[in-house]
């Protein structure tokens, strides 16, 4: 049979780096005594045992299990009363011998057990004061900053206020305040891998944080051109808000007409829906099985630190035909 590989491909195959053969046949006195002894790779294997031991015993090194969750119960997380909850959680943590370094705020809120809304300015200031008196860093993740829309059912909901726009003088040492933003959400461009961390003390400086972690020049150029293009940005943000609002209203109208409770919001991409309230006596796992059977995927609230079971996270930032199909399947699964 004639080979389907081109002449060029076959030519390159003969030039396969010999090093790959070394890697696939490395000597080991017990499992591969006839393998190749590799004394060519610039690697220090003398300390592997210690490093493996360390990594294994610190397996949760980067694990968000190291986050201390704060429960709110009936307390509105956007209210001043929420700060008391943090105060209480901090005291309890100290009593348990834990050292808390930072408070992470998703602003606008992304559903970690709750809601796509924006924090009022006075509450943000209270969070800053809380961090200041307890010498905590405040990390404000503002990745949904531009994905805020009008919800007539929430006429008094505050719009987005960036920590960067608050005058920190007399409130907190600016070196304790850090703001994150990136293109992933507001520009639907997760693949570009562009984001930034702005520290309160150097808002006028922009520099990469690592020589080896700089973005590709293509992504860099697209981002620079985008952020400098005022007319495109203005148009894009306005259209994005209109589309988010349309999709949100379409989805919530359907939810209401089928009696599915949800939490009204005006920011980010999620609707927090309570399927547990509709499917009586079913666990979250039972509901997930039903959803899977109808070939629809939404995430259970448990993944997002929901305080109450039965809640699910529905991502509504899709065209209406996609939402219609998805919601039809969700509704079928709970009937």
CB of 180 to ligand PLP, least distance (A): 7
Residues in contact with ligand PLP, counted by CB under 6 A, come to a total of: 8
> Facing residues of 311 across strands?
274
In the complex with ligand PLP, which residue's Cβ is closer, 132 or 184?
184
Q: Is 330 in the site for ligand PLP (CB under 6 A)?
A: no
**Tokens standing for 139?**
């990390």
In the complex with ligand PLP, which residue's Cβ is closer, 54 or 297?
297
**38, 79, 184, 246: which one binds ligand PLP (CB under 6 A):** 184
CA distance 199 to 82: 25
Number of Cβ within a 10 Å radius of residue 217: 8
Q: Is 106 in the site for ligand PLP (CB under 6 A)?
A: yes
In the complex with ligand PLP, which residue's Cβ is closer, 115 or 278?
115
In the complex with ligand PLP, which residue's Cβ is closer, 140 or 333?
140
> Facing residues of 312 across strands?
273, 300
> Three-class SS of residue 300?
strand
Contacts of 132 (CB under 8 A, 6+ apart): 171, 172, 173, 176
The strand order across the sheet containing 137-141 reads 102-106, 137-141, 177-182, 195-199
The site string for ligand PLP over 110-149 (x = CB under 6 A, - otherwise) reads x------------------------------x-x------
In the complex with ligand PLP, which residue's Cβ is closer, 177 or 331?
177
Phi, psi torsion values for 110, nearest 5 degrees:
-110, 140
> Facing residues of 137 across strands?
102
In the complex with ligand PLP, which residue's Cβ is closer, 110 or 252?
110
CA distance 218 to 199: 26
CB of 163 to ligand PLP, least distance (A): 14
CB of 266 to ligand PLP, least distance (A): 16
Q: Are strands 102-106 and 299-300 parallel, antiparallel or unpaired?
A: unpaired
CB of 190 to ligand PLP, least distance (A): 4
Do 268 and 313 form a contact (C-beta atoms < 8 A)?
A: no
> What's the Cα-to-Cα distance from 131 to each of 107, 150, 237, 299, rounded to whole Å?
16, 31, 32, 32
> Facing residues of 196 across strands?
181
In the complex with ligand PLP, which residue's Cβ is closer, 36 or 164?
164
Q: Which single residue brings its beta carbon nearest to ligand PLP? A: 184
Name residues contacting ligand PLP, limited to 186-245 (CB under 6 A). 190, 195
**182, 276, 301, 310: which one binds ligand PLP (CB under 6 A):** 182
CB of 193 to ligand PLP, least distance (A): 7
SS3 helix, strand, coil % of the chain, rounded to 5? Answer: 40, 10, 45
Q: What is the DSSP letter of 139?
A: E
| Piece of the chain touching ligand PLP by CB under 6 A; list 130-138, 182-190, 230-238, 305-313 | 182-190
CB of 335 to ligand PLP, least distance (A): 31
CB of 18 to ligand PLP, least distance (A): 38
In the complex with ligand PLP, which residue's Cβ is closer, 166 or 315?
315
Residues that bind ligand PLP (CB under 6 A): 106, 110, 141, 143, 182, 184, 190, 195
């Amino acid at each position: 049979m004639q080979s389907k590989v081109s002449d060029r491909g076959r030519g390159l195959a003969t030039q396969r780096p010999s090093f790959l053969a070394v890697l696939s046949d490395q000597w080991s006195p017990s499992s591969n005594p006839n393998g190749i002894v590799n004394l060519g790779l610039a690697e220090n294997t003398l300390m592997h045992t210690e490093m493996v031991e360390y990594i294994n015993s610190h397996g949760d090194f980067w694990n968000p299990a190291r986050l201390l969750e704060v429960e709110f119960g009936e307390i509105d997380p956007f209210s001043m009363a929420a700060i008391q909850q943090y105060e209480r959680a901090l005291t309890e943590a100290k009593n348990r011998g834990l050292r808390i370094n930072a408070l992470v705020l998703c602003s606008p809120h992304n559903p970690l057990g709750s809601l796509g809304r924006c924090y009022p300015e006075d509450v943000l200031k209270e969070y800053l004061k809380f961090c200041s008196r307890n010498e905590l860093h405040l990390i404000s993740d503002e990745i949904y900053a531009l994905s805020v829309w009008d919800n007539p059912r929430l006429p008094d909901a505050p719009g987005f206020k960036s920590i960067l726009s608050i005058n920190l003088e007399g409130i907190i040492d600016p070196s304790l305040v850090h703001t994150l933003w990136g293109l992933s959400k507001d520009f639907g461009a997760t693949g570009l891998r562009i984001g930034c961390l702005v520290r309160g003390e150097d808002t006028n400086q922009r520099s990469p944080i690592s020589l080896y972690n700089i973005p590709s020049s293509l992504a860099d150029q697209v981002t620079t051109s985008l952020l400098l293009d005022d007319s495109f940005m203005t148009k894009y943000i306005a259209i994005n808000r209109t589309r988010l609002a349309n999709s949100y209203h379409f989805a919530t109208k359907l939810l209401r007409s089928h009696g599915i409770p949800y939490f009204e919001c005006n920011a980010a991409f999620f609707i927090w829906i309570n399927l547990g309230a509709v499917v009586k006596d079913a666990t979250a796992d039972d509901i997930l099985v039903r959803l899977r059977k109808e070939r629809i995927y939404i995430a259970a609230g448990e993944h997002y630190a929901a305080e109450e079971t039965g809640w699910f996270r529905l991502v509504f930032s899709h065209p209406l035909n996609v939402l219609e199909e998805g919601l039809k399947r969700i509704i079928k699964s709970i009937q």
